[in-house]
Amino acid sequence: MRWVDEDEDTAPTSPKKDGSGQKGQRIAKLLARAGVASRREVERMITAGRIAIDGKVLDTPATILESLHGVTVDGKTVGTPLPTKLFGFHKPPGMLTTEHDPKGRKTIYDHLEAHTKEPLPRLMPVGRLDYNTEGLLLMTNDGEFKRQLELPSTGVERSYRARAFGEVSQQQLEDLFDGIEIEGIRYGPIQANLERRTGHNQWIEMTLTEGKNREIRRVLEHLGLKVNRLIRTRYGPFKLDELPKGDIVEIRAYDVVQFRKTLGKKK
Protein backbone atom coordinates (compact mmCIF):
# COMPACT_ATOMS: atom_id res chain seq x y z
CA MET A 1 0.00 0.00 0.00
CA ARG A 2 1.09 3.57 -0.55
CA TRP A 3 -0.38 6.84 0.73
CA VAL A 4 -1.62 9.17 -1.99
CA ASP A 5 -0.23 12.70 -1.68
CA GLU A 6 -2.53 15.63 -2.35
CA ASP A 7 -1.99 17.84 -5.42
CA GLU A 8 0.86 20.28 -4.95
CA ASP A 9 -1.20 23.17 -6.30
CA THR A 10 -3.01 25.15 -3.63
CA ALA A 11 -6.38 26.83 -3.89
CA PRO A 12 -7.87 29.61 -1.78
CA THR A 13 -9.98 28.56 1.16
CA SER A 14 -13.34 30.29 1.47
CA PRO A 15 -12.72 33.17 3.87
CA LYS A 16 -14.67 33.37 7.08
CA LYS A 17 -14.75 35.77 9.94
CA ASP A 18 -13.96 34.96 13.52
CA GLY A 19 -15.40 36.73 16.53
CA SER A 20 -13.20 39.79 15.90
CA GLY A 21 -14.50 40.24 12.36
CA GLN A 22 -11.17 39.13 10.89
CA LYS A 23 -11.33 37.14 7.66
CA GLY A 24 -9.88 33.65 7.44
CA GLN A 25 -9.41 30.73 9.79
CA ARG A 26 -6.74 29.53 12.18
CA ILE A 27 -4.00 27.63 10.43
CA ALA A 28 -4.55 24.55 12.61
CA LYS A 29 -8.13 24.29 11.38
CA LEU A 30 -7.11 24.71 7.73
CA LEU A 31 -4.36 22.10 7.99
CA ALA A 32 -6.70 19.70 9.75
CA ARG A 33 -9.23 20.12 6.95
CA ALA A 34 -6.45 19.43 4.44
CA GLY A 35 -5.75 16.12 6.15
CA VAL A 36 -2.32 17.00 7.51
CA ALA A 37 -3.20 16.09 11.11
CA SER A 38 -5.70 16.85 13.84
CA ARG A 39 -5.85 20.41 15.20
CA ARG A 40 -4.06 19.38 18.37
CA GLU A 41 -1.32 17.57 16.46
CA VAL A 42 -0.90 20.57 14.13
CA GLU A 43 -0.35 22.78 17.18
CA ARG A 44 2.35 20.39 18.36
CA MET A 45 3.93 20.49 14.92
CA ILE A 46 4.02 24.30 15.06
CA THR A 47 5.71 24.16 18.46
CA ALA A 48 8.29 21.77 16.97
CA GLY A 49 9.02 24.24 14.15
CA ARG A 50 7.79 21.92 11.39
CA ILE A 51 5.41 24.37 9.70
CA ALA A 52 6.40 27.44 7.68
CA ILE A 53 4.76 30.14 5.56
CA ASP A 54 6.72 31.39 2.57
CA GLY A 55 9.84 29.88 4.10
CA LYS A 56 9.43 31.49 7.53
CA VAL A 57 8.97 29.02 10.38
CA LEU A 58 5.68 29.58 12.18
CA ASP A 59 5.86 30.15 15.93
CA THR A 60 2.19 30.49 16.92
CA PRO A 61 -0.98 28.48 16.18
CA ALA A 62 -3.03 31.71 16.42
CA THR A 63 -2.10 32.61 12.84
CA ILE A 64 -5.15 33.45 10.70
CA LEU A 65 -5.06 32.60 6.98
CA GLU A 66 -7.47 32.78 4.08
CA SER A 67 -5.74 29.92 2.23
CA LEU A 68 -2.84 27.49 2.57
CA HIS A 69 -0.91 29.16 -0.24
CA GLY A 70 2.80 29.18 0.67
CA VAL A 71 2.37 26.85 3.66
CA THR A 72 4.80 23.95 4.00
CA VAL A 73 5.04 21.07 6.45
CA ASP A 74 8.50 19.58 6.90
CA GLY A 75 9.49 21.54 3.78
CA LYS A 76 6.73 20.05 1.62
CA THR A 77 3.97 22.13 0.06
CA VAL A 78 0.51 21.51 1.49
CA GLY A 79 -1.95 20.49 -1.20
CA THR A 80 -5.56 21.40 -1.85
CA PRO A 81 -7.97 19.71 0.59
CA LEU A 82 -9.43 16.56 -0.93
CA PRO A 83 -13.13 15.67 -0.61
CA THR A 84 -13.92 14.18 2.77
CA LYS A 85 -13.54 10.41 2.79
CA LEU A 86 -14.43 7.95 5.53
CA PHE A 87 -13.23 4.38 5.85
CA GLY A 88 -14.15 1.51 8.15
CA PHE A 89 -11.22 -0.63 9.31
CA HIS A 90 -11.65 -3.91 11.20
CA LYS A 91 -8.76 -3.51 13.61
CA PRO A 92 -7.35 -6.82 14.85
CA PRO A 93 -6.05 -7.07 18.43
CA GLY A 94 -2.35 -6.71 19.07
CA MET A 95 -1.63 -3.39 17.35
CA LEU A 96 -1.53 0.27 18.32
CA THR A 97 -3.79 3.01 16.98
CA THR A 98 -0.88 5.32 16.25
CA GLU A 99 1.48 6.06 13.39
CA HIS A 100 4.76 5.29 15.17
CA ASP A 101 5.69 3.45 18.36
CA PRO A 102 9.06 4.12 20.06
CA LYS A 103 8.99 0.55 21.41
CA GLY A 104 8.64 -0.91 17.94
CA ARG A 105 5.24 -2.47 18.48
CA LYS A 106 3.00 -3.07 15.47
CA THR A 107 0.65 -0.22 14.52
CA ILE A 108 -2.45 0.00 12.35
CA TYR A 109 -0.35 1.77 9.70
CA ASP A 110 2.14 -1.11 9.64
CA HIS A 111 -0.77 -3.44 8.99
CA LEU A 112 -2.30 -1.28 6.26
CA GLU A 113 1.08 -0.85 4.59
CA ALA A 114 1.55 -4.61 4.45
CA HIS A 115 -1.97 -5.72 3.56
CA THR A 116 -3.59 -3.01 1.42
CA LYS A 117 -2.97 -3.14 -2.32
CA GLU A 118 -5.07 -0.17 -3.45
CA PRO A 119 -3.75 3.37 -2.79
CA LEU A 120 -5.29 5.15 0.19
CA PRO A 121 -5.39 8.84 1.07
CA ARG A 122 -3.62 9.97 4.21
CA LEU A 123 -5.92 8.76 6.95
CA MET A 124 -6.36 9.65 10.61
CA PRO A 125 -8.13 7.37 13.11
CA VAL A 126 -11.38 8.60 14.64
CA GLY A 127 -10.71 8.04 18.32
CA ARG A 128 -8.59 5.12 19.38
CA LEU A 129 -8.87 1.45 20.16
CA ASP A 130 -6.53 0.01 22.80
CA TYR A 131 -3.72 -2.36 21.82
CA ASN A 132 -5.81 -5.46 22.54
CA THR A 133 -9.20 -4.00 21.58
CA GLU A 134 -10.53 -5.02 18.19
CA GLY A 135 -13.39 -4.08 15.91
CA LEU A 136 -14.56 -1.04 13.96
CA LEU A 137 -12.13 1.85 13.68
CA LEU A 138 -13.27 4.73 11.49
CA MET A 139 -10.53 6.57 9.58
CA THR A 140 -10.79 9.82 7.63
CA ASN A 141 -8.64 12.23 5.62
CA ASP A 142 -10.46 15.24 7.13
CA GLY A 143 -9.13 16.44 10.49
CA GLU A 144 -12.15 18.64 11.18
CA PHE A 145 -14.54 15.76 10.51
CA LYS A 146 -12.44 13.58 12.83
CA ARG A 147 -12.73 16.19 15.58
CA GLN A 148 -16.47 16.49 15.11
CA LEU A 149 -16.92 12.74 15.38
CA GLU A 150 -14.87 12.55 18.58
CA LEU A 151 -16.39 15.45 20.54
CA PRO A 152 -18.70 14.27 23.36
CA SER A 153 -20.96 17.23 22.58
CA THR A 154 -21.96 15.69 19.24
CA GLY A 155 -23.27 12.62 21.05
CA VAL A 156 -22.13 10.03 18.51
CA GLU A 157 -22.84 6.57 19.92
CA ARG A 158 -20.24 3.81 20.07
CA SER A 159 -21.31 0.21 20.69
CA TYR A 160 -19.17 -2.64 22.02
CA ARG A 161 -19.34 -6.30 22.93
CA ALA A 162 -17.26 -7.18 25.96
CA ARG A 163 -16.40 -10.64 27.22
CA ALA A 164 -15.59 -10.43 30.90
CA PHE A 165 -14.71 -12.93 33.62
CA GLY A 166 -16.75 -12.75 36.82
CA GLU A 167 -20.31 -12.26 37.97
CA VAL A 168 -22.58 -9.28 37.35
CA SER A 169 -26.35 -8.75 37.41
CA GLN A 170 -28.53 -7.09 34.81
CA GLN A 171 -29.56 -4.55 37.45
CA GLN A 172 -25.93 -3.53 38.02
CA LEU A 173 -25.57 -2.98 34.31
CA GLU A 174 -28.80 -1.00 34.05
CA ASP A 175 -27.62 1.27 36.88
CA LEU A 176 -24.80 2.44 34.58
CA PHE A 177 -27.38 4.43 32.64
CA ASP A 178 -27.27 6.98 35.47
CA GLY A 179 -23.52 7.40 34.99
CA ILE A 180 -20.82 6.45 37.46
CA GLU A 181 -17.81 8.03 39.17
CA ILE A 182 -14.62 5.98 39.51
CA GLU A 183 -11.53 7.36 41.26
CA GLY A 184 -12.66 10.92 40.69
CA ILE A 185 -13.52 10.45 37.02
CA ARG A 186 -17.15 10.87 36.02
CA TYR A 187 -18.43 8.61 33.25
CA GLY A 188 -21.67 9.50 31.50
CA PRO A 189 -24.69 7.28 30.80
CA ILE A 190 -23.94 3.81 29.46
CA GLN A 191 -26.54 1.46 28.04
CA ALA A 192 -25.49 -2.05 29.07
CA ASN A 193 -27.17 -5.42 28.70
CA LEU A 194 -26.14 -8.92 29.64
CA GLU A 195 -26.15 -10.78 26.34
CA ARG A 196 -25.24 -14.30 27.45
CA ARG A 197 -23.11 -16.34 29.81
CA THR A 198 -20.46 -18.88 28.83
CA GLY A 199 -19.14 -20.56 31.95
CA HIS A 200 -17.69 -17.84 34.19
CA ASN A 201 -17.53 -15.37 31.30
CA GLN A 202 -20.24 -12.85 30.51
CA TRP A 203 -20.87 -11.29 27.10
CA ILE A 204 -22.07 -7.73 27.65
CA GLU A 205 -23.34 -5.25 25.07
CA MET A 206 -22.54 -1.61 25.87
CA THR A 207 -23.32 1.69 24.14
CA LEU A 208 -21.88 5.07 25.16
CA THR A 209 -21.21 8.50 23.69
CA GLU A 210 -18.15 9.83 25.54
CA GLY A 211 -15.46 7.25 24.90
CA LYS A 212 -13.04 8.26 27.67
CA ASN A 213 -9.70 6.46 27.83
CA ARG A 214 -10.26 2.74 28.61
CA GLU A 215 -13.81 3.58 29.71
CA ILE A 216 -15.36 0.15 29.11
CA ARG A 217 -12.58 -1.72 30.86
CA ARG A 218 -12.51 0.61 33.85
CA VAL A 219 -16.26 0.56 34.36
CA LEU A 220 -16.50 -3.23 34.18
CA GLU A 221 -13.46 -3.67 36.42
CA HIS A 222 -15.21 -1.40 38.93
CA LEU A 223 -18.07 -3.92 38.89
CA GLY A 224 -15.64 -6.73 39.68
CA LEU A 225 -15.21 -8.05 36.15
CA LYS A 226 -12.04 -8.72 34.18
CA VAL A 227 -12.38 -7.91 30.48
CA ASN A 228 -10.62 -10.49 28.32
CA ARG A 229 -12.01 -9.47 24.95
CA LEU A 230 -13.44 -6.17 23.69
CA ILE A 231 -14.92 -5.54 20.24
CA ARG A 232 -16.29 -2.26 18.91
CA THR A 233 -19.25 -3.12 16.72
CA ARG A 234 -20.60 0.31 15.78
CA TYR A 235 -19.63 3.98 15.57
CA GLY A 236 -22.64 6.18 14.84
CA PRO A 237 -24.65 4.52 12.05
CA PHE A 238 -21.62 2.64 10.73
CA LYS A 239 -21.41 -1.02 11.74
CA LEU A 240 -18.70 -3.66 11.74
CA ASP A 241 -21.09 -6.31 10.38
CA GLU A 242 -19.22 -8.92 8.34
CA LEU A 243 -16.14 -6.85 7.48
CA PRO A 244 -13.24 -9.34 7.64
CA LYS A 245 -10.66 -8.76 10.34
CA GLY A 246 -7.79 -6.63 9.04
CA ASP A 247 -9.74 -5.29 6.05
CA ILE A 248 -10.52 -1.64 5.30
CA VAL A 249 -13.41 -0.39 3.16
CA GLU A 250 -14.48 3.07 2.02
CA ILE A 251 -17.91 4.18 3.22
CA ARG A 252 -20.16 5.54 0.49
CA ALA A 253 -19.95 9.30 0.04
CA TYR A 254 -23.77 9.52 0.16
CA ASP A 255 -23.84 7.84 3.59
CA VAL A 256 -21.16 10.21 4.88
CA VAL A 257 -23.08 13.26 3.65
CA GLN A 258 -26.32 12.06 5.24
CA PHE A 259 -24.56 11.35 8.52
CA ARG A 260 -22.95 14.80 8.59
CA LYS A 261 -26.40 16.35 8.25
CA THR A 262 -27.48 14.60 11.46
CA LEU A 263 -24.36 15.82 13.27
CA GLY A 264 -25.36 19.39 12.56
CA LYS A 265 -28.64 18.81 14.36
CA LYS A 266 -27.08 17.41 17.53
CA LYS A 267 -26.84 19.67 20.55
In angstroms, the Cα distances linking 241 to 136, 231, 232, 244 are 9, 12, 11, 9
What is the enclosing helix (H) or strand (E) of 90? strand 86-91
Q: In whole angstroms, what separates CA 7 from the centre of its chain? A: 25
Pairing of strands 191-198, 124-125: unpaired
In angstroms, the Cα distances linking 261 to 21, 29, 80, 258 are 27, 20, 24, 5
Cite the active site residues. Answer: 130
The Cα 267–Cα 259 span in angstroms is: 15
Residue in 68, 32, 76 with CA at minimum distance from that of residue 50:
76
Q: What are the residue ranges of helices labelled H in 17-118?
A: 27-33, 39-47, 108-115
Residues 6+ apart with CB under 8 A from 151: none
In angstroms, the Cα distances linking 122 to 9, 191, 221 are 17, 34, 36
Task: Give Rg (Cα) of the chain.
Answer: 21
